[in-house]
Amino acid sequence: MLGRPPFALFTRSANLHPEEVLAMGGSVTAKANADRRTSFGGWLGRAVLVAAVMQSLRIGLQIRRELAAFKASQAELGTSWSTVPSITRKRQLRVHARTHARSCGRGPTMVLLHGYAIGSTYLVPLAARLSREARVYAPDLPGHGLSEHDVRPLTIPELARALEAFMDSQGLRAALVIGHSMGSQIAVELARNRPDLTAGLLLVGPTCDSAAPTPIQQILRGALTGFFERPSFYVWALIDYGRAGLRLLLHELRELTAHRIDHVLPGINIPVRVVRGAHDYIAPQRWALTVAHLGKTAPPKVLPRWGHCVQYSEPERIARIALDFASELDGAAAPRSPGASA
């Protein structure tokens, strides 16, 4: 015969031990469960892949919209080149700056200072908004953005001296200085050394929190707060970090953690305001309150939703804060009329 008769199968099954029957049933069930798990895993993997693609497309479209808005803002600004002395005093360094493009009459003068290793590019949206009502200067300090590098990366006090030279070259006096991140440290040094150049300081996300005084702590905090920035910010950050180079990146990370803004602020007698994002873990609320207290000013203004670079994420709101502050400074500096009451 070519095979067993059909009844042989039933005969074989009838002769099986009960434990063998249970084992056969268990193997069939296990195979079915494994197939279901494989099927579920396949569907889950495809769902995750689709979600990742959709999220990437969403972020890509958002970056495209933000870059278009950036281009429109940049069109409102002009550029200038000036020179400042090298730290060796043997040559002059060419310094690039973004400025207001139109005459602003008697509007306040504002100087915008970039942060760690980056240039003034990410200050463009704020500078453009301010330029409609103020004279705006956003320099790339030596080694940053489009400006020339010095013989070595500069310390924060040396960057402040380069800023002094830039402001002198432009004939700027009594400016509202807006410093972001490490720019706040430079602004405070400027106010200590040349109070004639500064009418007030607006410190946005000031560094460096005394509770996180090491480079690795700052890197970890920066990674956490990075989830709350506009995606297009990283385009400009990567470009400017590439221009800065590894040597400057490492030097300034050590420099911003070593410099103590909380030791300098108490000796300054210039009006100060502090602003931060609600999710700014580089400049958390406790630290911002400390800076505000040392600056003898009101508690910091907190902008919801955003992280460390609120001047890029919310330029309109930061501009309004700056213009209101400038109005306060102008009112305080205005001479009283002879008949004014005390």
Strand partners, 92: 85
Q: How far apart are CA 214 and CA 73, in angstroms?
A: 36
Concatenate the DSSP letters of all residues of 69-122 into one string. Answer: HHHHHHTTEEEEEEEEE-TTSSSEEEEEEEEESS--TTPPEEEEE--TT--SGG
pLDDT of residue 1: 43
Q: How far apart are CA 337 and CA 22, in angstroms?
A: 104
| Domains of the chain and CATH, by start | 80-330 (3.40.50.1820)
Question: How does residue 15 score in pLDDT terms, banded at 50, 70 and 90?
Answer: low
pLDDT > 70 in the chain, percent: 83
Residues 130-160 pLDDT 10s: 999 999 999 999 999 999 999 999 999 999 9
Looking up tokens 């489009």, which residue turns up?
Answer: 146
Cβ atoms of residues 109 and 175 within 8 Å: yes
Q: How far apart are CA 75 and CA 81, in angstroms?
A: 17
Identify the three-state secondary structure at position 199: strand
Residues 184-193 pLDDT 10s: 999 999 999 9
Residues 153-182 pLDDT 10s: 999 999 999 999 999 999 999 999 999 999
